[in-house]
Structure 1
Amino acid sequence: MEVPGRTQDSPPKDSAGRSLSGERTIFCQPCSSDGDTIGAIGYCQNCNEYLCAVCLKVHRKQAVSRNHIILDGDNMPKVTIPAVTPNACSDICTKHVNEIVKYFCMSHDAVGCGDCMIIDHKSCKIDRIQDISTEYFNGTEHQNILKKVKQFVKDMDEIKGELQASEGNTRQAYTQAIKDVKAFKKEIIDYLNKAESEMLEMINERKKKNEMMIQELQQAESRIRRNIKEIQTKLQLQVNQANELFVEAKQVKAKLNDFEENLNSLKKDTSIDVYEFQRSSHMEQMVKSCRPLGDIVDQTEQEVEHVVSKYDHLVSSKEVTDHTGLDRKSISEMDAYFDCEINIKTQDDSSDCFIASCALICPSQIIIIDENNKCLKLVEVNIKKVSKYKVKNIPTGVAVVNPNLVSVTFPGERKIQFFTITTSNKIIESDMIIVSTGCKKIAIYEDKIIGITSTSVEIMSMSGQLIKSISNPNMVWLMDIAVVPSSQMFYVSNGSLGYKAVFKFDFDGNLIATYQDKDLVDVRGLEVTRDGIVLVCNWASSGSIRMITPDCKMIKELLKGDRHVSYPYCVTFCNETNKLFVVNSHYNLDKKFRNVLKVFQLK
């Protein structure tokens, strides 16, 4: 009777697995990997493995191993064979499924069966794998492969760690993005609720005022009616009494004149003003545009200013990517075409306009400074409507703090006045700060005010405290200033007194670049687009708008010889619509150029 785990003629063993005859029993290796200790009765030279009776039977039946060389009985090795031995090949050829891979071609570094060598390598030097395999073990190539595999495992571990980190970052980014969207939505809803409350309050005040007026008029009407009834009754009672009638009539005559005046006044006052709600053109345009709440951008995305820092890169590319992630044409590739003009002179203006400065609030609104008429004017572009706010002193410069707040310079009083723009497009005075110098023009950058005098740039806090003053020997008559978006850089234009130029500085006062041109007659307004391109007014009778690169090199000249442009004094640009707004200003300007805002489309 056979005992499991021992061959029929195996000698008895002690507890350590040694036979009592002194020889050590060799166990089946496949079974040992499963934790079973069954004695081996055969050895496969191809697999370098000891097999028990069951495993040997399966080994001889499988197609992949039925041709392997099996040693059994006394032919079986008595000790474990080393891991690498010059045994027979057993791998099946991938091209010839009935053949075994036995040969190696050194010229092509390829292995194959006999058919492969005859067909593809008959002129090559061929070696038997069995003859050269032992030399390969632990050789240079073998070691290199082991190192590469080890490195691959290490790389995969790193990738796994990065993927796990990315998974965490993705969850965090998702949670934060959802939170930010909801927070922004809440801000918008809060703003709309506040705007609605303000508008309803105005409507309620108007209603209350009208109701009080109607009540007063009703009381007056009742009083006059009673008095007239009394007179009418007295006259009727005394119709047959001549003396009393005469006296009463004379007394009533004087009262009738008063009644007539009161009655005429009452008729006039009963005409109550009928009001209606007029939509904000800016809000209406925003709703119609169906713009998304924002964009989803990569945190590693570089700022536009850095992307276009080199002019060659800027103009060599036909397309650039805007903040929405969509490809669009660079404005350096565009030309300007006249769109329309907007009359900016109001009926109560005492003289022709002299527009000293202008700034874009949003695609549908522009704020302008009219020196001659001492006022601010809010231009609603789409409906060509102008709202005016009169001031006591002469304003010269304007900058947008946010869509509801602008700042205006009054150099004669050395002050900067802030003005609030309400949801109904009314201009209301807000805070005011006193500055140490009379700034002519200003720009706003984050929490700083950058103003210019004739010869210097003054960097101040929002409270007017001087942070730094920047001067340069060539700055003798500064005209305008423009700050580079998302960068502590700014441009100033210098004109009139010989050195016509545009200077680029950083906030430390370092001169970065200078733009000069022999054909530049004079320099006035400045604007920096989102692409980093600078627009500067060439102030001349047949003037133009110069387009220059961030490092102050000429790109092109817009509107040269255009019949709508003469002495262009200030310019602003809408990055959303690619509209260019130009105001011509000069004391001797032809009348057809006065009092209008010129609108051009870049395409």
Structure 2
Amino acid sequence: MSAIGSNILISVKKNCNDHSEMILDYYCTDHEIVCCRACISNEHRICHNVLPLELASKDVKRTALLYNVMEDLTHLVTTLNALNDNRQSNLQSIKKTKSTITKQIRAVKSKLLKQIDELERELTTSLSSLQHKHEMEINKQKQEISQVLVNVIENKNEMDFLIDHGSKNQLFIFLRQQVTNIHSAEAKIQQIVSDSQEFDITFDEKKDVKLESLVTVRVCSTMSSSIPTKEISTSPDKGGTNEKHSRV
């Protein structure tokens, strides 16, 4: 490899890949390949169009090969630049998309928080309503219990008084009346017990609810359509001269 001027490096190989000690000095037009003298002896003995490299390259600057290679290299440069621009554009697009999606995520968060606040208000209202409803029922039963208790205590106090200060007739009549009153009180108590319930308010949380199932972030990929492409006019080991020469 040698340098021309200050920037261009020449990478043209002078020696054969298969015979490193031999110089490339022949061109086989049958196989369209540059080769050395050893290659000619080993692989191209029956080829009819083997030219010295000096003769094969004599008019190279006027051949279709030069035009095709120049056109293909120019196209490759154009394609690679377009591809690089496309990748850079995709990077910018991803960055812009990230910013947009970040705003969307914040919007979803705000929406969810509002829904959670609304749910909290609804649950709190429902809780207060349930509490009020059952407190009313319990307080009603307490009033009934208190009324029965007051009557029983009054009867007991009256009985104690009659035992100490009343006549036997008064006590007897009172006791006979209390048998009925006691049965009535017991029936009332049984009714209260039958109607009484142990109220309890519970909170049921759904454990399997996952917020990440509500929204997702994913990648959508498509083929790039803005990159120019065309079929390369030259192919490996192709592109000899257009002129025919006799074999050496």
Give the TM-score category using the shorter length: 0.5 to 0.7
Q: Choose from 174, 178, 193 the match for 1:249.
A: 174
Count of aligned pairs: 215
**2:194 paired residue number:** 268
Please say if residues 217 and 266 of structure 1, whose CA atoms lie closer than 8 Å, have aligned partners that are also in contact: yes
Q: What's the counterpart of residue 133 of structure 2?
A: 209
The alignment yields a C-alpha RMSD, in angstroms, of 4.4
Deviation readout 1:220-252 (Å, 9 max, x if unpaired)? 4334323322222122212353288269839x6
Partner of 1:298: 220
Tell me how far apart the structure 1 counterparts of residues 96 and 37 of structure 2 sit (CA, whole Å). Answer: 59
CA shift, 1:111, in A, is 0.6
AA aligned to 2:70 is L
After superposition, where does 1:516-527 map in structure 2 within 5 Å? none
Does residue 1:109 correspond to 2:109, yes or no? no
Structure with bigger strand share is 1
Structure-1 separation of matches of 2:64 and 2:221: 46
Aligned to 2:150: 226
In the alignment, what sits opposite 1:121?
44
2:225 counterpart residue number: none
Identify the residue that residue 133 of structure 1 maps to in structure 2. Answer: 57
TM-score (structure 2 length as normaliser) = 0.64
1:163 Cα deviation after fit: 0.7
CA displacement at 1:94 relative to structure 2: 1.8
Instruction: Tell me what 1:584 maps to.
Output: none
Q: CA deviation at 1:137?
A: 0.8
The answer for unaligned runs of 5 or more in structure 1 is 1-29, 35-46, 48-63, 65-88, 301-603
Q: In structure 2, list runs of 5 or more residues that go unmatched.
A: 223-248
TM-score, length-normalised on structure 1?
A: 0.30
AA paired with 2:189?
A: L
Identity level (%): 17
Partners of 1:243 and 1:32 lie apart in 2 by 145
Aligned to 1:100: 23
How far does residue 151 in structure 1 lie from its aligned partner after superposition? Answer: 1.2
Going from structure 1 to structure 2, the CA distance change for 1:140 and 1:234 (only over 3 Å counts) comes to same
CA distances 1:324-374 after superposition (whole Å, capped 9, x unpaired): xxxxxxxxxxxxxxxxxxxxxxxxxxxxxxxxxxxxxxxxxxxxxxxxxxx
Distance across 2 between alignment mates of 1:299 and 1:111: 44
More helix by share: 2
**Bigger mean CA offset, 269-278 vs 92-101:** 269-278
CA contact (8 A) 1:102 1:130 kept: yes
Q: Is the 8 A contact 2:27 2:56 kept in 1?
A: no
Q: Give runs of aligned pairs for residues 163-174 of structure 1, distance below 5 A.
A: 163-174=87-98
Contact 1:210 1:272 in 2 (8 A): no
Label 1:32 to 1:267 Cα distance change in 2 as closer, same or farther (>3 A): closer
Relative distance call for 1:216 and 1:176 in structure 2 (3 A) is same
Aligned to 1:55: none
- Indicate conservation of the 8 Å contact 1:99/1:113, yes or no: yes
**Could you say if the C-alpha distance between residues 119 and 110 of structure 1 is closer, same or farther in structure 2, counting changes exceeding 3 Å?**
same
| Structure 2: distance between partners of 1:99 and 1:187 | 78
Q: Which structure: larger Rg?
A: 2
Equivalent position amino acid for 1:296 in 2: R
Q: Secondary structure at the match of 2:58?
A: helix
- Measured in 2, the distance between the counterparts of 1:179 and 1:123 equals 74
Partner of 2:227: none
Give the 3 Å change call, closer, same or farther, for CA 95–179 of structure 1 in structure 2: farther
